[in-house]
Chains A and B, each alone.
Chain A
Amino acid sequence: MAEKKSKKKDPKEWRIEIDAERCKGCGFCVEFCPKNTLAMSDDFNSKGYHPPMVADPESCTYCDMCEMICPEFAIFAVSEKNKKDTHFSDDALRMDRMPHIWCPGCGIGTVVNALTQALEAAEIPRDKTQIVSGIGCTGRVAGYMDMDSYHTTHGRAIPFATGLSLGAPDQKIVVVSGDGDLTAIGGNHFFHAARRNANMTVICVNNFIYGMTGGQTAPTTPQTAIGITTPYGAFDQPFNLPFIAESCGAVYVARWTIYHVRHLQNAIKAALLKPGFSLVEVIAPCPTLYGRRNKLGDGLDLVKFYKEAAVRVKKGQTTADAAIGYQSEFLVGKFVDRDRPSLTDAMDASLKAKLGDAYAGWPIPG
């Protein structure tokens, strides 16, 4: 999918605002600013982090990259004329719960930005959106979204979402959870929801490790990478998630990294607008437990690596080519975009055909 160019902003109307207190000093904004507008400052905020500063305001084109990639919602473009004075995710988040629990250099906040912007771009109102998470670092996403949200049990976000999507077919169901939650303990549900083509968009934040529990090996941990339960290196073959999702029947499958945050937003938007089961896998850094144990540097180092290692999927390549090795190149992009009846549509059509007038339909409770 071609990346949509964001509408150009008139630099005279805009300036960059930095909420230094929100910042955890990950450096994503400075590193990935395409115009080198930003620099790390020597100041400390009350948490002890160096926030960024606008070093070269003239160079800024207001492309929003810093606002999109900031996992702390700390840097944003403001404009009195355009009536924007906060981070664009603020409105969709429970800001009274900030700061969030995610570590400095974690990518989950960036995924949240991509999701809030995708929901807006897809014009899905908040009272039509249901966010479901399992357990773990990414499992906390639901709790920060200011919409109906459910923080369920470990691995079971998908079957909860299945019940919710069947019960409330007028709602857009979004599952946001981690790789361990969705594909180890929740693996069976993942396969079956894809098989049934249950109406939901699953955003799987894959950081190759169990974060919240302390860095244990996940079914996505690349072979030879160190997890605390494979201290001499992982030896079993990890999952290739796009391949599994496609084999099981998902109708839309894409993978991006948090560096590719605009592509990620567009992929989530496309997934949200696709009836049936869609998967967007996001490669994200876990500096605290994956990066540190494997001596790969901090969050910024990991994202810099993922930026270079991500290779766009080319014609002729399939999900079978999407496996990820340890510090290897890997494919990103859209892998699957196909149509088949969703679970609710298939159920409805079958019952209508078999029962005729005796079929009472599926009234939404009043």
Chain B
Amino acid sequence: MKADPKRVLTGNHFMNGNHAAAEGAIAAGCTFAAGYPITPSTEIVESLAARFPKVGGMFVQMEDEIASSICLQGGVWSGRKAMTVTSGPGFSLMMEHIGLAAITETPCVFINVQRTGPSTGLPTKVGQADMMQARFGSHGDYGIIALAPSSPQECFDMTIDCFNLAEEYRTVVFLMSDEMTGHMLEKVVIPEANTIDLVERKFYTGTDKYLPYKPEANGIPLMSKAGMGHNYHITGLTHDERGYPVLTQEVQEVMMERLMGKIKNNVDKLTRVEEFMMEDADIVLVSYGISFRMAYRAMEMAREKGIKVGLLKMITCWPFPEKVITELAKKVKSMIMVELNYGQMYIEMDRFANAHCQTHLVGSACGEVHEPETILNQILEAAKK
């Protein structure tokens, strides 16, 4: 299905990443958003509050992020595409409902415009230190998908991707943006609606009793929505195909294998990376989101010095592009993760690379993006070895 022209602001715009993400959500067919104000994410819901009433959508400001993160799931079961938007402390408050969405297989999008933590930290400064929280923040095992935009254009494009992936896999999808990408003003090209592909929800239309958790051949069950007459039961308890709670290890295992498998069995399909100057590289920078831009400059500076540096940009951070990393590691001398934290995606990169090459981290306490020179120094260091 293609996007609805009434919802797509086709044209060239000069807008920040947060506004672009809001336009992406509208173009993707999102008609429901719940949120609570928090810097530096708020422009997204401000945008939605202004735009939604004109395009058949609704934004509701809830009493806190806990409420927002479950209110949106009520919106999803009413048959709508829904999302919430937050940052830092708000993201922490939402964690329980990531787990609820995971176990109930409620397709929904969470945008986290990351700031500096821990706790209140630096509320108006950039960070990328919620990457592990996005993956593992709620209790128990589950799989999620996370994309990281590094420009306002990608905020638009990837928000649409997030909604499409959420519907396809019936899972939580995160757009792991950051303060600087969110507030950066750049050219954003919004294409014609008929060039934007949307994944629509697949509802059960059979005549037999609807089994809300009976998987199709692809491992993903068909959905229902309020009032279809299916009389379904949705629960955060361990459940069988009927959706009934069954509190046994056997049923837990069947449920978990499928929940984990939805992502695990599709890692290759989900993996999205971009490579730069990789042909002859023996040192590879790996980065994502805003840090990608600094890494790119550092790569250019190193190339000017004659050092063979390439750059791998992760678009999907979760599931982690493990095969790409391992294959690269076999070919190069060093891999350097560039990110605004003390080493989160680095842990994953190291796990899949260290059998084959050296691994390094250019981390940060957050608050500002890296100086390209800092990254360059690490490249020079790695080049010596």
Contact = CB atoms under 8 A, between A and B. Distances in A.
B237 interface: yes
A116 interface: no
A151 B235 contact: yes
A153 B53 contact: no
B32 A143 contact: no
A167 B233 contact: no
A355 to B, nearest CB: 6
Nearest to A164: B74
Contact of A143 (B64, B80, B230, B245): B245
Contact of B63 (A97, A189, A362, A363): A189
Interface in B227-263: 227-237, 244-245
Contacts of B77: 148, 150, 163-164, 167
A324 to B, nearest CB: 26
B115 interface: no
A127 B14 CA distance: 47
A97 B75 contact: no
B79 interface: yes
B229 to A, nearest CB: 4
Given A152-B70, A163-B34, A143 B53 contact: no
Interface stretch (B54-62, B119-127, B343-351): B54-62
Interface string B73-117: 111111110100000000000001100100000000000000000
A351 interface: yes
A326 to B, nearest CB: 32
Contacts of A171: 78, 226-227
Interface residues of A, number: 46
Contacts of A94: 233, 244
A135 B236 CA distance: 9
Contacts of B245: 143, 151
Contacts of B73: 160, 163
B309 interface: no
B225 to A, nearest CB: 8
B184 interface: no
A94 B242 CA distance: 11
A167 B227 contact: no
B79 to A, nearest CB: 4
B66 A167 contact: no
A64 B231 CA distance: 27
Interface residues of B, number: 46
Interface in A337-366: 347, 351, 355, 358-365
Contacts of A165: 74
Interface in B31-58: 31-32, 34, 53-56, 58
Interface string A80-123: 00000000000000100100000000000000000000000000
A313 B76 CA distance: 41
Contacts of B237: 151
Interface string A150-186: 1111001001111111111011000000000000000
A146 interface: yes
B235 A130 contact: no
A94 B235 CA distance: 15
B276 to A, nearest CB: 42
A237 to B, nearest CB: 23
Interface in B115-166: none
Given A153-B100, A156-B97, A163-B71, A148 B82 contact: no
Contact of B232 (A148, A159, A351): A148
Nearest to B34: A163
A360 B55 contact: yes
Nearest to A185: B66
A318 interface: no
Contacts of B71: 159-160, 162-163, 166
Nearest to B63: A192
Among A148, A153, A191, chain B packs the most CB atoms within 10 A around the CB of: A148
B53 A355 contact: yes
Given A149-B234, A151-B235, A153-B96, A159 B62 contact: yes
B67 A148 contact: no
A162 B60 contact: yes
Contacts of A293: none
B3 to A, nearest CB: 16
B56 A143 contact: no
B234 A168 contact: no
A167 B67 contact: no
Given A151-B235, A171-B227, A365-B80, A192 B62 contact: yes
A131 to B, nearest CB: 9
B96 A148 contact: no
A188 B63 contact: yes
A132 B234 CA distance: 10
A135 B100 CA distance: 13
B72 interface: yes
A353 B74 CA distance: 27
A159 B74 contact: yes
B230 A148 contact: yes
Given A156-B97, A163-B34, A351-B53, A146 B231 contact: yes
15 contacts: A94-B233, A148-B77, A151-B235, A152-B100, A152-B236, A153-B236, A160-B74, A162-B60, A162-B67, A164-B75, A168-B226, A188-B63, A189-B67, A359-B53, A363-B56
- Please name the 7 residue pairs, one residue from A and one from B, whose CB atoms are nearest each other, closest first: A167-B78, A163-B74, A164-B74, A159-B67, A168-B78, A163-B71, A151-B235
